[in-house]
Amino acid sequence: MSLPSIVRLAWQMPLLLALTSCSVSGDGLAPALPDERLALAAPPAAHSAAQAEDDRIFRETRRLVGTPRWTLATSDADLHPAAFLSHYSCAVGFTLDLAKAPHLARIMTIIAKAETPRTSEEKHYWKRARPFIGNDAPICVARSPELSKSPSYPSGHTIAGYSTALVLSALMPERAAPILQRGRVIGESRIVCGVHWASDVAAGYQAAGAFAVALLEDPLLRALMPQARQELRKMAAESSPPDPALCALEADAAAHSPFNQP
C-alpha cells in the first residue's frame, strides 16, 4: 500500500505515523489479517429498514451536541498514540502512560501497520458515504476534505479501539470486562460524533474481533506480550489513579448506548 493511500486514512493516520519511530523486529512484515470484505455483510441498502434505523440514530444523537457525552466523543476521536492508550485508564484502574511501556508501544505499532491497509480495502470496497455528507448536521470534529473522502463502512476508529481493547484484555484478563466496555464506548463515540452510521460501528466490532484472533496468534506479538504485561503491572503499582470525574462520565456513556435509545 502506498504512503499516499495511508495518509488518506485520516481516522488512523496519527496513530500509525506517530508510532513508526518504534521499530518492528523480525522481517518487519505486519501480521496477515482476514479479508473482511468476505466476512462482513454489505452495509444497509438505501431506503432499507436498516438504513432507516441508521438515519434515526444519527438524528437522535445530534441532540447530544454540547453535552458531556459529546465532549467524551470528541476526546475519543483522538488517535494520537499516548491519548489513544490513555482512553483505557479508567478501565484498567490506573493512569496509562505509553512512554513507560515501549513493548506495548511496539504492539500498537504492529496492530496499526496490519489493520490500516485491511481497513482501507474494506472502506474503498463498499464506498459508503458518511452520515454528515449532504447535510449541515453538527459533528464533533472538523469537516475536513480528508474525512469526507474517507468511506464510512466499517468504522476504522472502532476497529482500532476494539481490537486494542481485546489485546489489552489479553494482557490484563482481570480487567477484561471494563476494558471491553471502554472499547465499545469508543466505537459508540463515532456514532455520537456523527461521523459514522451505527451499522459502521457494529461492523467495526466484528472486524476487530476477527483481526484480534490473528493478531494474538502472531509470533512477534506473542513474544512481546510478556514484557508488555510486566510494563502494565509496574505502571499499576506506580501510577496515579485516573480522574474520577472522567471515569464517571465514561461509566454513564456505557450505560446509555446509542444502540439502545428509543
Q: Which residues are catalytic?
A: 157, 190, 196, 200
Q: How many CB atoms lie within 10 A of CB 172?
A: 20
How many Cα atoms within 13 Å fall on the side-chain side of residue 98?
Answer: 19
Answer yes or no: are the C-beta atoms of 36 and 118 closer than 8 Å: yes
Q: Residue 75 is placed in which grid cell?
A: 476526546
Distance of CA 175 to the CA centre of its chain: 18
Residue with cell 463502512: 153
Q: Give the up-direction half-sphere exposure of residue 141: CA atoms within 13 A in the CB hemisphere.
A: 24
Residues 6+ apart with CB under 8 A from 171: 104, 225, 228, 229, 232
Instruction: Name the strand (E) or helix (H) holding 14.
Output: helix 13-18
Count other Cβ atoms within 10 Å, centred on residue 158: 29
Report whether 193 contacts 77 (CB < 8 A): yes
